[in-house]
Amino acid sequence: MLDIGRQLVDDADYERLRPLVELTAFALDLATGRCDGLELRLLRFLDRPHRLPLAMPDAQLHLARLRHRQGDLDAAEQGLREVIAEAARVGAAWPLIPARAALADLLRSRGAQIEAAAETEAARVLAGAKGLPAWIRPV
């Protein structure tokens, strides 16, 4: 489906959608563990914020999750906190809710149970308040 989407965007030569296809590929690669070269691709994407400025927090979320997976907890935590701050600033449920859930997971891995529980509850409440019950389960 991603290849078909990429082809449709190429056929239409609709530049505004190219970053969305890239973000989808990043998310898919991260979810399936295909992480070779992913950090470099994400950093290149983030170096071009003018292409789709609203997509930058999504790319930052993917990068923070990747860094967590790689064991760079400090960089991952900083990245997640930046995503949370930006998403809260603009009032975006996505990526605020998954970033809070990812931060809770990271904090749990560091043994910070109280702060992790607070982040989990914040994500759960946000998902409920936005009427997104499907997002509550993964939180």
* Per-residue model confidence (pLDDT) at position 26: 97
Mean pLDDT of 75-96: 92
Query: Could you tell me how many helices (H) and strands (E) the chain has, helices first?
Result: 8, 0
Query: Quick one: pLDDT band at residue 8, thresholds 50, 70, 90?
Result: very high
* Per-residue model confidence (pLDDT) at position 16: 85
What is the C-alpha separation between 109 and 129, in angstroms, rounded?
27
* Per-residue model confidence (pLDDT) at position 136: 61
> Which residue has tokens 């898919």?
28
Query: Quick one: pLDDT band at residue 14, thresholds 50, 70, 90?
Result: confident
Query: Quick one: pLDDT band at residue 74, thresholds 50, 70, 90?
Result: very high
Whole-structure pTM value: 0.85
Rounded (10°) angle between helices 56-70 and 73-90: 160
At 98, which amino acid appears?
Answer: P
Query: Quick one: pLDDT band at residue 34, thresholds 50, 70, 90?
Result: very high
Mean pLDDT of 23-46: 97
Query: Quick one: pLDDT band at residue 20, thresholds 50, 70, 90?
Result: very high
Q: The domain 2-136 belongs to what CATH superfamily? A: Tetratricopeptide repeat domain (1.25.40.10)
